[in-house]
Amino acid sequence: MNLPIKMTINEIISHLLEAKKILLLCHVSPDGDCIGSLVALGRALQRLNKDVCMASEDKIPGSLRFITEPGEILLTNEITEKFDTAVAIDSGDMQRLGLIGQELFSKADFRINIDHHSSNPLYGDLNLVQPQRAATGEIILDLIFNLGIEIDRSLAEPLYTAIFTDTGGFRFTNTTKDTLNKAALLVGYGASPNLISHEIYENKPLGYFKMLALAFGRFTIDEKICYTWISFDEMAEFGLDFEASEELSTFAKMLENTKMSLVFKQKEENLVKVSLRSQNGYDVAKLAEKFGGGGHKQAAGCTINAPLDVAIKEMLHAAKEVDH
């Protein structure tokens, strides 16, 4: 397995070194892994004097702004240029790039797909997909090493954030010796574990705790499936962006004696984002795939186009049907 990966890395590097205008894209509802990976790769390529554009379909959540400079990441709807190379980062399938993101990706002369989701259908002209990696940030770190770029704090901080967030603060089963070694290296290059942990898990507005209190009060356990929900009206009432509800899934999976947790987050009237987590090795990516989503065995997501109560009913029904 090593040889093809090494060959792919070499091919990607030689392509990036020849490219003139490069577009880097992350997935919708961007998280720490995709933003951290995007910023680190973008900055690394800029050091090689490449014309790089970093873009996101959705705006960057407040808790991740500390790893970006103002104006560094554009919104996809602000882009009018054409690119010879586009790189999709941490996006398990092409739809994850968003409507405009997908179009920009498709229009580029050459497309590179860098990801760590096992369900990735290898939609690029070159695909560097390593499901054994805890975070796409780990893959980007390898690429940056191979590009021969010196790592300083401006690269170490976003990369550490990528690994830190996708491992739930080094707690999830995807945390390996290699993950921790990479994190330690990044600390050596200037990433501060305390500062990053503070920015990600602390520093929250009061409305955030009121939202948690409401969603915690709704925790329901049905056939060992724990679920809760939050509506967009409620999020607005607490003065929160949609992204602020992302962490609910981390709490829902803390309940004892459950097999799976489901968090329903209403994004629009008839659009519900579901975050699925499994506690005992059950493959939630398969369940998410039934609704057009995907992800990892223990953490997956999907979007259901229906009112909140209908989405909850449909997903619970499908979750109960699966053989644990």
Residues near ligand 5GP (CB under 6 A): 92-93, 96, 117, 119, 246, 249, 275, 293-296, 299-303
Partner whose footprint covers residue 199, from Mn ion, ligand 5GP, none (CB < 5 to 8 Å by kind): none
What are the φ/ψ torsions at residue 225 (nearest 5 degrees)? -110, 120
Taking the least distance from each CB to ligand 5GP, the nearer of 45 and 296 is 296
Nearer residue to Mn ion within complex by CB, 77 or 173: 173
CB 200 within 8 A of CB 210: no
Binding Mn ion (rule: CB under 5 A), the pick from 57, 90, 157, 199 is 90
Residues 216, 293, 243: CA angle, nearest 5 degrees: 45
303 binds, among Mn ion, ligand 5GP, none (CB under 5 to 8 A by kind): ligand 5GP
* Strand pairing category for 260-268 and 271-278: antiparallel
Nearer to ligand 5GP, 275 or 278 (CB): 275
Distance separating alpha carbons of residues 164 and 67, to the nearest angstrom: 13
- Partner touching 167 among ligand 5GP, Mn ion, none, CB below 5 to 8 Å by kind: none
Q: Which does 113 bind (CB under 5 to 8 A by kind): Mn ion, ligand 5GP, none?
A: none
In whole angstroms, how close is the CB of 10 to ligand 5GP at the nearest point? 27
Closest to Mn ion by CB, 89 or 225 = 89
Question: Measuring CA to CA, which residue among 118, 123, 114 is closest to residue 93?
Answer: 123
Work out how close the CB of 135 gets to Mn ion at its nearest, in angstroms, rounded to a whole number: 5
Nearest distance in Å: CB 23, ligand 5GP: 20
Report the residue from 57, 93, 138, 166 that binds Mn ion according to the rule CB under 5 A. 166
CB of 156 to ligand 5GP, least distance (A): 23
Give start and end residues of each alpha helix (H) in the chain. 2-18, 32-47, 99-107, 136-146, 153-166, 177-188, 193-201, 206-217, 232-237, 248-252, 284-289, 308-321
| Contacts made by residues 171-179, CB under 8 angstroms, sequence distance 24+ | 172/134, 172/298, 172/299, 173/298, 174/134, 174/135, 174/296, 174/298, 175/134, 176/132, 176/134, 178/138, 179/133, 179/134, 179/135, 179/138
Residue 93 in contact with Mn ion, rule: CB under 5 A: no
The smaller minimum CB distance to ligand 5GP, of residues 196 and 274, is found at 274
Angle at 181 between CA 33 and CA 116, to 5 degrees: 35
Segment contacting Mn ion (CB under 5 A): 64-72, 160-168, 223-231, 306-314? 160-168
| Residue 191 per-residue DSSP state | -
The set of residues, in sequence order, having a beta carbon less than 8 Å from that of 210 and lying 6+ positions away, is 238
Q: Which residues between 6 and 65 bind Mn ion (CB under 5 A)?
A: 33
Residues 6+ positions from 196 with CB-CB distance below 8 Å: 157, 160, 161, 164
Residue 293 interacting partner from Mn ion, ligand 5GP, none (CB closer than 5 to 8 Å by kind) = ligand 5GP
- In the complex, least distance from residue 96 CB atom to ligand 5GP, rounded to whole angstroms: 5
Instruction: Please state whether beta strands 225-230 and 220-222 pair in parallel, antiparallel, or not at all (unpaired).
Output: antiparallel
Stretch that binds Mn ion, among 86-94, 106-114, 234-242, 296-304 (CB under 5 A): 86-94
Q: Please, what's the largest Cα pairwise distance for the chain?
A: 56
What's the min distance (Å) between Cβ of 31 and Mn ion? 7
Return the one option of Mn ion, ligand 5GP, none that residue 228 interacts with (CB less than 5 to 8 A, by type): none
What's the min distance (Å) between Cβ of 34 and Mn ion? 6
- Look up residue 14 and give its two tokens: 């030689």
Q: Where do contacts with Mn ion occur on this chain (CB under 5 A)?
A: 33, 90, 136, 166
